[in-house]
Amino acid sequence: MFKKFIAFSFLMTITLAVFCQEVNVYPSNWWVGMKNPKVQLMLHGTGIGKNTISITPYTGVRLEKVHKPENANYVFLDLVISNTAKPGNLEIKVSSGNNIKFPLKARRPGKGSAYAQGVTSADLVYLAIPDRFSNGDPSNDRIPGLRDQSLNRDSIFHRHGGDLKGVLNHLDYLQDMGVTALWLLPVWENNMPDRTEHGYAITNHYRIEPRLGTNEDYAALADALHSKGMKLIQDAVYNHTGLYHFFVQDKPMKDWLHEWPAYTNTNYKDQVLFDPYAAKTDRKKMLDGWFTPMMPDLNHGNPFLANFLIQHAIWSVEEFGIDGYRIDTYMYNDLEFMNRCNKALLDEYPRLSIFGETWVHGVPNQSYFCENNLQVPFKSNLPATTDFQLLFYGIQESLTKPFGWTEGVNKLYTTTAQDFMYKDPMRQVIFLDNHDLARFYSVVGEDTAKYKVAFSWLLTFRGVPQMYYGNEILMTGFTNPDGWVRLDFKGGWPGDPENKFTGQGRSEKENAIFNHIRNLAQFRKRSSAIKSGQLTQFVPEDGVYVYFRHDNKQTVMCIMNTNPAEKQVDPARFAERTKGFKKGRDIPTGDLMDLQQKISLRPMSMLVMNLE
């Protein structure tokens, strides 16, 4: 009898230990008054599924269903929150006695005006890597308990210590330059054993990467941006997570991930998604293959996983006041899931902007993944993409190849002419480089004349312009390996011998580029023609390309000379757009040009003239 009592006591101890484990709820909170009244909670804790789960009566809230998957460490709850519900704490009852308080908040005021505003062609987006931009809080450089304890600014393979407070400290710098929107690489926890300063190996969707700061720091950054009339773009990763994500190490269900008998990488071939002759095996490999061995591919066909990702996106907008989304590796996701996700966001936040990374080759390929005018079986509802075509087959070709019938700046003209495929090309995000590409200053051989032309184009062309941190101070680097294009912004760390955030810390050449960008960026903030006007382009002749941005209030004439020699242009050729104007003032220099006579163009240069 005594032995039986000891055994029973031991069993009770084990049982209590199981049911006293911490239980985490995802999402961590929700709101009353959402357009979609339904939310699905994921409870995760050792043995939570062995409990009976219910909720304490709460006016306006109904527990519709309890789902218990094969892994007893998870429970999913379907809640319906009606319009009669008030803010407060919903109590989730657990039969073991560990009840959970789930906050229901009042919604954030100012939807579409103070947050979820969307990023448009009126904006200038600045892309930054928090770890490499500025260190505002050295106390979080290393976090005990995390797998990666590296900290070495002399190595491109280690963390450098930049953080959200460092970004916050330089918002005035960005605003003075003319930046209106900030895009940061993913800010969520990346508790991986190796360097992941890029942020794309998420291990917890509801915790800010602690080496970057806290959830409160992210909220403070968003609030500070909004107080300055600026916007925040969040980088979303739906296709994969980090291998050490809690729901990868402890899967709720067997089909949570795309898993193969042996490791299978994606083939990276976007063509198989629209190729009428594509093999099904190639298509499956493209969509279900893993991006890397350290980034498991998520199964969007699992409805619980799909809900988790969609709700996290909505939660982020409401919790932090996100204004726009950039979606990583867009074409590797299940596209039907992406349509559902995009719709859920836009139903709740109609002005929110969403653009997807589509590193593909060819305008037809790229247009397939966003709203388009193509007659194809699958129709995407993604509003826009990152415009790799205007980069690779447009401005890059214009400045690195000699002019020819189809070469040089003719590529920019021809690629732009294919805009008829997009439903709204003004939403396309145009850029010169990013965290995955060679820095454009290196691409053009560190030729500042070409670099000025590139930025004159970027800040006057159709679409939403995006620049990469350090563009303004002539940062260089090639992607072999990627770390060389992710170097530190000098002056972002205490004790840096140079501070490129100030004019005094920049060289004469760097200040010339900085001021060129600043002058054009500040001009475009006041220019109705550039922000929302039409684009008219003329066929390039002899290496000279002319386009206009215009509306009923303003006309801006842009003349690009891609030749190594001086050229002359007769404004009479462009009379359909210059009629009624006599002079044009070049914005970067302030020079006044007479439109009644030929205009001399310096070698490799570009005029941006406000017609008067």
Active-site amino acid positions: 328, 357
From CA 469, how far away is CA 125, in angstroms rounded? 10
With beta carbons less than 8 A apart as the criterion, state whether 589 and 610 touch.
no
With beta carbons less than 8 A apart as the criterion, state whether 76 and 42 touch.
yes
From CA 526, how far away is CA 430, in angstroms rounded? 20
From CA 139, how far away is CA 142, in angstroms rounded? 7
**What Cα–Cα distance (Å) separates residue 102 from each residue in 27, 61, 82, 182, 336?**
9, 12, 16, 32, 31
Residue showing tokens 């099904």: 280
DSSP state of 144: T
3-state SS track over 339-357: HHHHHHHHHHCCCCEEEEC
DSSP secondary structure of 431-444: ES--TTS--HHHHT
With beta carbons less than 8 A apart as the criterion, state whether 226 and 283 touch.
no
Cα–chain center distance at 198:
12
With beta carbons less than 8 A apart as the criterion, state whether 143 and 211 touch.
yes
CB-based contacts of 35: which residues, under 8 Å, 6+ apart? 347, 348
Amino acid letter, 541 = E
Residue of 39, 14, 20 lying closest to 29 (CA atoms) = 39
Look at strands 599-601 and 567-569 and give their pairing.
antiparallel
Strand order of the β-sheet with 100-105 is: 30-31, 100-105, 88-94, 53-55
Question: Is the bond preceding residue 296 a cis peptide, omega within 30 degrees?
Answer: no
**What Cα–Cα distance (Å) separates residue 128 from each residue in 172, 187, 321, 347?**
15, 11, 19, 29
